[in-house]
């Protein structure tokens, strides 16, 4: 009877260890996925959709990829272009957002 209890305890220990490993792995990937977002006061920006960043003295402008398009077609000709979403932050007007973008840029790998 004692061998069965010992085996059950070993199995329980292994299951707990495996569950802890799964929890740590899920938590790691959650943090990695969530770190791809910049959190501002009124929005979250997925960094995968940033097309370009203009860096000016005391101002950052983020140009985002958009699924929206604008244009005109008439009689088989015209133009279609993507509509750009723009997020900007200046050091004077939006200091918190400016700091978030500044930290993100400064912590990028070279």
Q: What pTM does this model have? A: 0.57
Q: What is the residue-averaged pLDDT of the chain?
A: 77
Q: Report which secondary-structure segment, H or E, holds 37.
A: strand 37-39
pLDDT reading at 28 higher than 80: no
Phi and psi, residue 89, nearest 5°: -145, 130
Nearest to 61 by CA among 96, 81, 90: 90
**pLDDT on residue 106:** 87
Residue-wise pLDDT for 30-67, tens only, equals: 445 445 788 888 888 888 888 899 999 999 999 988 77
Lowest mean pLDDT among 29-43, 66-80, 93-107: 29-43
Question: Is the pLDDT reported for residue 17 higher than 60?
Answer: yes
Its sign, for the CA torsion 17, 18, 19, 20, is positive
Number of helices (H), then strands (E), in the chain: 2, 7
Does residue 101 have a pLDDT over 80?
yes
């Amino acid at each position: 009877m004692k061998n069965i209890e010992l085996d059950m305890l070993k199995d329980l220990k292994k299951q707990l260890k495996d569950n802890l490993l799964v929890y740590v792995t899920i938590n790691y990937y959650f943090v990695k996925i969530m770190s791809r977002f910049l959190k501002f006061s009124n929005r979250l920006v997925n960094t995968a959709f940033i097309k370009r960043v203009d860096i000016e003295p005391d101002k950052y402008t983020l140009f985002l990829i958009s699924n929206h398009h604008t244009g005109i077609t008439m009689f088989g000709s015209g133009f279609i272009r993507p509509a750009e979403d723009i997020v900007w932050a200046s050091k004077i007007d939006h200091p918190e957002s400016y700091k978030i973008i500044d930290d993100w840029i400064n912590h990028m790998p070279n």
